[in-house]
Structure 1
């Protein structure tokens, strides 16, 4: 910036005194230091500079301060808090039959069982193994059925889709029966009524699934759940969100809103500082084109819950209810435009 001209008169600038501060630059730096994406109205004393207009109080060209106008949109930030799947999904009938086929191939080709490597002769464990293997007609694997890899049917590895052997419940039952100890320390077979029962695995469906309790986190264990809240029975369900303050970034607002809405008794983690989705609500204007109601631009960040539970007691946003729902349940519950704005960040399961 060597010189500036107004009305044919050249005004000297930094070439004469480099230590002096340009008023246009000072206003520009002050403008850049503000967070004008916040929901709060901008201070009238700090305005964006207008190039080409001089400041009468300065000896160089500088932009004047214009009158602040009310922005038609409020900027909000929210969090899409998720609970990831705790179980793998259920296998399809084809996948179950395929994995049984693979286990039979492994029994015949890749991993022949060596008894001497696992059991010492004439020990209770070896006697227990021999007893169970005789009942399986010499098959080492516990869950591949009446299949002898060394007999005449050794190459008959195919399994029909829908076979009982490929049913996960049948596989669990076979493994539980095989884990039951049937030989005592004295080498004697234990009567059935005296055997110690093996603890069975918990079912995939929980009590919350049976009761349809959508507030609990121990439901739909093989799906991703999302936290949604609402203020009243007639208000729509939505993700926790709130206004962005001038002194906050989007991720800082999301963390604050989550604590104010669902309490601090949760161990959560906000994944990154970049929004993963956004929803826009258009402003409402009066017939004379004046602004009646400001619109909203809500930017959502993604979060994970690792422990704890949501607690709406004494929340700062007047929330009265919350739910942990899957993607399909959210599609039925959320407003159409709202769901379309966030659906692309949701997991398939």
Structure 2
């Protein structure tokens, strides 16, 4: 038997453990196993993997609605320019006096011939005001005090009323006439005065007259109805455009439900349309809503007459003057 061949008995001895173990020890070393009694568990119900489709409900939430209304904002535009501020009065007078300093001297012989009544009248007026200009007060632009063209505190030269009186006085013409006895007398021609800015309606406080507050915009304050049904047909009005200039949302204290339309009326939305009055006057004699009074009010007067809720809705769409 060669070296490479190993007998079967030797291979079997090599595979055995070196420590001899008897059959009894093998039985003791076997892992103990305990038989567990089966538990009494309730059967688990099986649920379907898909959701059950519920039938659609017939009741739906109520929709919110508002009642739409349109209100005409009828106004009368200003007829006169606004009053000047004290700064503007001083500035305009300063510009007129500055123009006298920068302009060339007035050449009176180009306009008046010597010895004519026009020259005599010209000399008389220039001696009083010391300047060709008629609305800058007593001021000589080419004299030694020409630089002193600013007003002193309390000087009324820049006031429009003072300038108006100066212009009217300068427009008066003195004419020398002789009577039957041959005596000469001076006659002044009357000058037509302009209409005052303060009218009789302003003095009387007539809120229904359109001939008041001529330097401001007036608004017709009456019921929220169309013009013809309230103010009559004696007004020539013109709606400026088709787009509202503002709106107001008025919410009711409690909504009004409408079960047929499945809606709840929460309030009103009022849209304001701009309109102008060109001629005429409001007349409530044949109005269809029993109105008894109306007024033409300026913006600051509307604030006193309106409810705060209504005033907050229109104060930003009314012009300042």
Where does residue 268 of structure 1 map in the other structure?
237
Q: How far 1:183 sits from its partner (Å)?
A: 3.7
How far apart, CA to CA, are the structure 1 residues paired with 2:269 and 2:153? Answer: 51
Give the TM-score normalised by the residue count of structure 2. Answer: 0.71
1:111-190 matched pairs, under 5 angstroms? 112-137=105-130, 139-183=131-175
How far apart, CA to CA, are the structure 2 residues paired with 1:103 and 1:83? Answer: 34
Q: How far 1:122 sits from its partner (Å)?
A: 3.7
1:241-256 matched pairs, under 5 angstroms? 241=225
Q: How far 1:227 sits from its partner (Å)?
A: 0.4
SS in 1 for 2:174: coil
Q: How far 1:294 sits from its partner (Å)?
A: 6.5
Deviates more, 1:323-332 or 1:264-273: 264-273
Where does residue 9 of structure 2 map in the other structure?
none
* Distance change >3 Å, CA 287–CA 127, structure 1 → 2: closer
Where does residue 226 of structure 1 map in the other structure?
219
Where does residue 329 of structure 1 map in the other structure?
301
Q: How far 1:207 sits from its partner (Å)?
A: 1.0
Where does residue 210 of structure 1 map in the other structure?
203
Where does residue 227 of structure 2 map in the other structure?
258
Deviations 1:262-316 (A, max 9, x none): 1121122111110001122213437999899762211111111121111112112
Is the 1:97–1:162 Cα contact (8 Å) retained in structure 2?
no
Runs (5+) with no aligned partner, structure 1:
1-68, 231-239, 242-256
Q: How far 1:74 sits from its partner (Å)?
A: 2.0
Where does residue 276 of structure 2 map in the other structure?
304
Deviations 1:199-247 (A, max 9, x none): 22222211111111100011111111110014xxxxxxxxx43xxxxxx
Q: How far 1:346 sits from its partner (Å)?
A: 0.7
SS in 1 for 2:244: coil
Structure of greater Rg: 2
Is the 1:97–1:163 Cα contact (8 Å) retained in structure 2?
no
SS in 2 for 1:305: strand
How far apart, CA to CA, are the structure 2 residues paired with 1:283 and 1:229? Answer: 22
Give the TM-score normalised by the residue count of structure 1. Answer: 0.65
Is the 2:238–2:275 Cα contact (8 Å) retained in structure 1?
yes
Following TM superposition, the consecutive aligned residue runs of length 4 or more in structure 1 with deviations greater than 6 angstroms are 286-294
Deviations 1:115-142 (A, max 9, x none): 24443444333322222112223x1111
How far apart, CA to CA, are the structure 2 residues paired with 1:154 and 1:102? Answer: 14
Deviations 1:110-166 (A, max 9, x none): 3643324443444333322222112223x1111222211111011111123531211
* Distance change >3 Å, CA 268–CA 191, structure 1 → 2: farther
SS in 1 for 2:277: strand
Identify which of structures 1 and 2 has the higher relative contact order when contacts are C-alpha pairs closer than 8 Å and 6+ apart: 2
1:276-315 matched pairs, under 5 angstroms? 276-285=245-254, 295-315=267-287
Runs (5+) with no aligned partner, structure 2:
1-61, 179-183
Pick the aligned partner of 1:316 from 267, 271, 288. Answer: 288
Where does residue 89 of structure 2 map in the other structure?
96
